[in-house]
Each structure stands twice: as C-alpha cells, then as structure tokens.
C-alpha cells in the first residue's frame, strides 16, 4: 500500500479525526514522484514559521509539506495512520504534549552530534526522541500601581496566606499550568506540590478562567494584584506599537521566580522525527536547521520566544522583560509528572 503524501502547502485543520481522514484523501494526489521533501505536522500556527520553512527549502532544496492542527488531533492522526503515515516530523508546544506523543510511541530516536552540541541537555530528550526549538518562561506579574508585593519572589510564595484573594491564573486543565505543577513535583515531591496547589486555590481572586492574555488584562485593570503568565504573551504587550496595548504593559511589573534557588520554570516548543518517517534523513536535517542561529532568530524575534540553542543572538521584545536564570531540570520531567499533577489539581479543587 503506498504512503499518502501531503502536497507542498500549508493546510490548517481544526476538526476531528473523520474530517482529517477525508482531508488526507484529498491531499494524496500528485506527490508520489516527489524527490526531496519533508512532511511536517505542526501545532504551531505562526507566519514566521512559514518564512523559516521557505528559507530551509531555499538553502537545501528540500520541500516542506506542512499540515497544521491541534497537538492532540495530530497525535491521534499519526496513531491512526500507523506505519503508512506520511509524517516525518511532529512539532508541538509544551513538553507535556511532546511527552504524550512519546508515550504513544510516535517518535524514533535520533543521534545527532550537531543537536547535542547546539541544545542544552535540559531542553532535549535524553534518548534523542525530541528536541527543544524555543522556550517560554512562566513568570509572575503584579499590579505596578501597588508596587512589588512584599515577600513574593518564588512560585512557593503564591501560596502564602498574605496574598489571600489576590491571585489570578488559568484553569487546571491548561497544559502550561500542568507543566508548572509537574516541575514543582519534580523539585518538592507530590506532597509539597499538593500543599502548594491548595495554598494557591485559597488565594484565588476569582475562579480560574480565560487565557494568559486575560490574566494580563485583569492585573492591568486592577481586578487582580498577581497573576501567572507565559513570557511570550507578555512580550506582545511590551513590543506593541499600539499605545493602548503598550499602556497595559506599563501597568504591570514582572517577577522571574526562584532566582535565589532553582530558577524560573521554562517550557519548550519542540520537534521529533516520527517512527515511520518516509524521509528520515531529511527530517533530521530539518530539525538540525531549526537550531541554527538564523532559525533561532525566527523563533525568538518573530514570536517573542527565547532561543533554545546555546549562545543564539536574538533581539526579541521578550528580552525587554529582563534576564533570568532558568530551571535546569530536564523538561522530560514535565511529562513524566503530568498525570500526578492533574490528580493534585483535582484534589486541591483547582478547576
């Protein structure tokens, strides 16, 4: 049975598996004789990524066939396609989602001296199943009009009764929060993590709701004194040319937590080569390209992320938030502790 091949185009899909299968049938014509290509499944939806892929093609002659959908939809699709999957590379956001793909047995190990050299050990799978491409920091923000909340320097401090009724944050189902709690489990153990979650719940200013942008707006408006957000959301405000948007940022103070200890929690966008990749060597070459200085600048400057590669030189608006020391725990722990984190959130009443 021939492998279905995706056309050289950006195809964005947001519907279920049945719809994906129908779409696949429509995308299989005319590619069987393609020579140099790589088929990329991605849950990232940024125009800067498209420009990066075009440059890869110009530099290597390898065409990038891109299929976009949500991470869980893509994982389900790859499982359904099985050994006949045309997919070569899966790209997704958050180590927790990379771990879900790993647990589903979707990745094949890659031994690349270049990737080992370019990427810190904490930002790649120990067995080469996937590799970090960019990072985001989970920071604390506060209402600048009220000044730095005294005693708030770490994630642990968010559970201090001194901040009762002041904390806004997303729901427990959000992957960013699950990964944050997973990192706390790694450092403090399950019991310490549960005490922390219960303390934060007691300090909620409102029921968990909205996305990170909602938390930023809530702090700027005075609805909440404190919130937890990803750095790249905040950098969008910091780097905006719109005076109204920039005014929101000017009302906010930023804390990089745990600078006197383990460092600030970071998460990754990452990629892995799929187990049944028909273009394995091209897939490896593609991921290696994504760690070059040129590609890292696209991730950082184009989407306000931090580069994953060592010593990459970027000028993203996120740099305006300040420098910080990152937690150096291997991000695989964020996936390994995911199930326990969900159970703790449920027991703590974090909805």
Name the burial class of residue 213, with classes exposed (0-12), middle (13-18) and buried (19+) by CB atoms within 10 angstroms of its CB.
middle
Q: What is the pTM of this model?
A: 0.87
Annotated domain spans of the chain = 10-135+267-316, 136-264+331-348
State the pairing for strand pair 226-230/167-168.
parallel
Name the burial class of residue 166, with classes exposed (0-12), middle (13-18) and buried (19+) by CB atoms within 10 angstroms of its CB.
buried
In words, the CATH class of domain 136-264+331-348 is alpha beta
CA-based end-to-end distance of the chain: 47
What tokens appear for 11 in the block? 């195809």
What tokens appear for 76 in the block? 């389900």
The residue among 130, 149, 126 whose CA lies nearest residue 268 is 130
What tokens appear for 242 in the block? 């719109």
- Beta-ladder partners of 39: 65
CA distance 308 to 182: 20
Residue 335 pLDDT: 94
Tokens 């359904």: give the residue: 80
Q: Which residues contact 68 (CB under 8 A, 6 or more apart)?
A: 10, 11, 12, 13, 42, 43, 44, 45
What tokens appear for 215 in the block? 């938390």
State the pairing for strand pair 266-273/226-230.
unpaired
Average pLDDT per consecutive 10 residues, the chain (351 residues; last block may be shorter): 43 44 40 72 91 96 97 97 97 93 97 97 96 96 97 98 98 95 98 98 97 97 97 92 95 97 96 98 98 91 89 78 94 96 98 91
Residue 22 pLDDT: 40
CA distance 216 to 224: 9
Contact between residue 48 and residue 298 where contact means Cβ atoms under 8 Å apart: yes
Residue 165 pLDDT: 98
Q: Using H for helix, E for strand and C for coil, what is the string for 93-140? A: ECHHHHHHHHHCCCECCCCCHHHHHHCCHHHECCCCCCEEEEEEEEEE
Under DSSP, the state recorded for 270 is: E
In words, the CATH class of domain 10-135+267-316 is alpha beta
3-state secondary structure of 152: coil
Residue 263 pLDDT: 98
Tokens 């094949």: give the residue: 108
3-state secondary structure of 74: helix
């Amino acid at each position: 049975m021939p492998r279905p091949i995706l056309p050289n185009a950006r195809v964005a899909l947001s519907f279920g598996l049945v719809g994906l299968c129908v779409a696949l049938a429509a995308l299989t014509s005319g590619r069987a004789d393609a020579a140099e290509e790589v088929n990329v499944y991605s849950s990232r939806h940024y125009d800067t990524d498209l420009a990066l892929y075009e440059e890869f093609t110009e530099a290597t002659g390898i065409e990038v066939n891109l299929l976009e959908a949500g991470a869980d939809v893509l994982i389900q699709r790859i499982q359904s396609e099985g050994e006949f999957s045309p997919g070569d590379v899966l790209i997704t956001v958050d180590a927790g989602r990379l771990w879900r793909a790993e647990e589903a047995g979707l990745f094949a190990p890659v031994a690349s001296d270049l990737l080992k050299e370019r990427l810190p050990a904490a930002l790649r799978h120990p067995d080469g199943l996937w590799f970090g491409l960019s990072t985001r920091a989970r920071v604390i923000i506060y209402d600048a009009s009220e000044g730095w909340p005294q005693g708030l320097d770490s994630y642990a401090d968010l559970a201090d009764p001194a901040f009762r009724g002041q904390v806004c944050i997303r729901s427990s189902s959000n992957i960013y929060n699950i990964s944050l709690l997973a990192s706390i489990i790694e450092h403090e153990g399950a019991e310490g993590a549960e005490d922390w979650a219960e303390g934060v719940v007691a300090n909620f200013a409102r029921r968990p709701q909205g996305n990170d942008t909602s938390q930023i707006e809530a702090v700027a408006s005075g609805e909440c004194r404190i919130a937890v957000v990803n750095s790249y959301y905040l950098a969008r405000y910091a780097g905006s040319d719109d005076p109204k948007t920039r005014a929101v940022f000017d009302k906010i103070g930023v804390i990089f937590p745990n600078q006197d200890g383990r460092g600030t929690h970071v998460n990754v966008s990452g990629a892995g080569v799929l187990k049944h990749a028909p273009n394995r060597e091209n897939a490896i070459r593609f991921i290696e390209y994504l760690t070059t200085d040129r590609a890292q600048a696209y991730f950082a400057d184009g989407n306000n992320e931090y580069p994953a590669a060592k010593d990459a030189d970027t000028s993203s608006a996120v740099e305006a938030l300040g420098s910080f020391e990152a937690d150096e725990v291997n991000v695989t722990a964020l996936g390994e502790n995911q199930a326990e984190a969900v159970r703790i959130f449920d027991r703590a009443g974090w909805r």
